[in-house]
Amino acid sequence: MFRFAHPEYLYGLYFVPVLIVAFWLSIRRRSRLIDKFAGKTLQPVLMPTFSKPKAALRSGLIVMSVILLLVAASDPQIGTKIENVKESGIDIYVLLDVSLSMQAQDIKPSRLEKAKLELSGLLPKLRGDKIGLIVFAGEPFVQFPLTSDYSAADLFLSAANVNSVPEQGTAIAPAINLAVKSFDISSRNDPSDKAERVIVIFSDGGDHEGKIQDAIDNAKKNDIKIYTVGFGSVEGAPIPIYNDQGQQIGFKKDDKGNIVLAKLHQTELKDIASGTGGRYFRAANGRDELEIIYGDLSKIRKSELGEKRVTDYEDRFYYFLAPAILLLLVEFFMSERRSLLFGMLNRKFGLEQ
């Protein structure tokens, strides 16, 4: 079995025709300048050692070297071993708070952007797990359901912002209930899916809708663990306000004109996590809490996703790298002087030197 470990480098082959045309135009321009300088009868006299075919050959060697280097960079591999393995998976619903308070910048670049960066960084590390995203403020909304298409998930994640939901607030309880319901829908669509189910909440806390205990009991009844990550400071931070052009125009104020400070409500987030057997983390600059949570979850995987044929591959890039280096060395040491070989070819095939 053959594959390229980094096929994105093969896109560079699209520029090879451009390189060929560039060399052709350069050789043609050079030939015209020589013809303009001296007639064809005088050229052998004035430039007795110059060979036009060798100049073209040097360009051809460079083009071939570029092609071989691009193929080598894509890391061609050959499968050497195939075995059957059983994989375990986890179904994860991330509940992302997109209320205005998550725009506070006591965590850089902001609470919301830090949460999105962590989630985006986790996606490439998932192996067979399914992940879904629910954004919430005054009401929850499924940004994307459980999926193993991580590229699509990253695309939808990038679009999540404070405008993703029409009503502001912090409705954690409804978001938990929506996640539990979404898990059930996924299980009904795929009865064989018995993966470990987990909810991860990114928020600064402060449920404004109440009934949080009922939501915790609902998750616990369905054997769903909840991990919570608290964003912000206990002292609070001002909430920046932006115009339609994305420029900050001030900070959110209350009815009396005082700047509102968005505080982290740790107690509530801790209670949610402990009530379902999960853990609470406080977000910090320079630390990836979601990666810690995923590492913790990887130790408790239970369900089998089925058998999957896995192939071990060995690199074969050097089969292309070595000839590329050799051709470049030949081109480097090759002169444009006439040689005996090209003289023979000229006499036999009528090549112009």
**Reported confidence tier of residue 338, pLDDT bands at 50, 70, 90:** low
> Residue 215 has what pLDDT?
93
CA distance 147 to 130: 5
Question: Angle 172-189/212-221 helices, nearest 10 degrees?
Answer: 20
Both 109 and 75 in one domain: the answer is no
Are both 298 and 324 inside the same structural domain? no
Q: What is the DSSP string of 109-121?
A: S-HHHHHHHHHHH
CB-neighbour burial class of residue 148 (10 A; exposed 0-12, middle 13-18, buried 19+): middle
Chain mean pLDDT for the chain: 82
* 186 is a domain residue: yes
Confidence grade of residue 220 (pLDDT, cut at 50, 70, 90) = very high
Q: Is residue 84 part of a domain?
A: no
Predicted local distance difference test score (pLDDT) of residue 239: 87
Same domain? For 189 and 288 the reply is: yes
Percentage of the chain with pLDDT > 90?
Answer: 33
26 is a domain residue: yes
Q: Both 237 and 343 in a single domain?
A: no
Asked whether residue 38 carries a pLDDT value surpassing 90, the answer given is: no
Mean pLDDT of 121-135: 87
Residue 93's contacts (CB-CB under 8 Å, 6 or more residues apart) are: 131, 132, 133, 134, 146, 179, 182, 183, 197, 198, 199, 200
The reply to whether 179 and 105 lie within a common domain is: yes
Annotate 315-353 with b (16+ C-beta within 10 A) or e (fewer): eebeebeeebeebbeebeeeebebbeebeeeeeeeeeeb
Does 102 map to a domain?
yes
Asked whether residue 56 carries a pLDDT value surpassing 90, the answer given is no
- Is 173 inside any structural domain? yes
Same-domain pairing of 124 and 211: yes
Instruction: Give the pLDDT confidence score for residue 164 in this predicted structure.
Output: 83
Region 86-115: mean pLDDT is 87
In this structure, what are the phi and psi dihedrals at residue 7, rounded to the nearest 5 degrees? Answer: -65, -15
CA-based R_g, the chain, Å: 32
Q: Is residue 308 one of the residues assigned to a domain?
A: no
Please give the distance of CA 43 from its chain centroid, rounded to a whole number: 58
Is residue 203 located within the same domain as residue 329? no
- Percent of the chain residues topping a pLDDT of 70: 80
Tell whether the model's pLDDT for residue 310 goes beyond 90: no
pLDDT confidence of residue 247: 83
Q: Is the dihedral of CA 26, 32, 36, 38 positive or negative?
A: positive
Asked if residue 307 belongs to a domain, the reply is: no
pLDDT top residue among 145 and 38? 145
Are 110 and 215 in a shared domain? yes
Residues 120 and 10 placed together within one structural domain of the fold: no
User: Do 168 and 141 contact (CB within 8 A), yes or no?
Assistant: no
152 with 276, same domain: the answer is yes
In a domain, 86, yes or no: no
CATH number of the domain enclosing 264: 3.40.50.410
Distance CA(218)–CA(228), nearest Å, equals 16
Q: Check pLDDT > 80 for residue 260.
A: yes
CB burial of residue 203 (10 Å; 0-12, 13-18, 19+): buried
**d(C-alpha 252, C-alpha 101), whole Å:** 9
Number of compact structural domains in the chain:
2
d(C-alpha 224, C-alpha 218), whole Å: 9
Note the pLDDT of residue 351.
Answer: 46
Above 90 in pLDDT, residue 203?
Answer: yes
Residue 177's domain comprises 91-302
pLDDT band of residue 186 (cuts 50, 70, 90) is low
Residues 57 and 97 in one domain: no
What pLDDT, on a 0 to 100 scale, did the predictor assign at position 193? 58
State residue 51's pLDDT score.
64
> Are 345 and 296 contained in the same domain?
no
How far, in Å, CA of 71 to CA of 128, rounded? 29
What is the arithmetic mean of pLDDT over 194-210?
A: 80
The dihedral through the CA atoms of 285, 288, 292, 297 has a sign that is positive
> DSSP per residue over 82-104, as a string?
EEEEEEE-EEEEEEEE-SGGGG-
Task: Give the pLDDT confidence score for residue 219 in this predicted structure.
Answer: 94
Count of helix runs (H) and strand runs (E) in the chain: 11, 13
Q: Is residue 194 pLDDT above 70, yes or no?
A: no
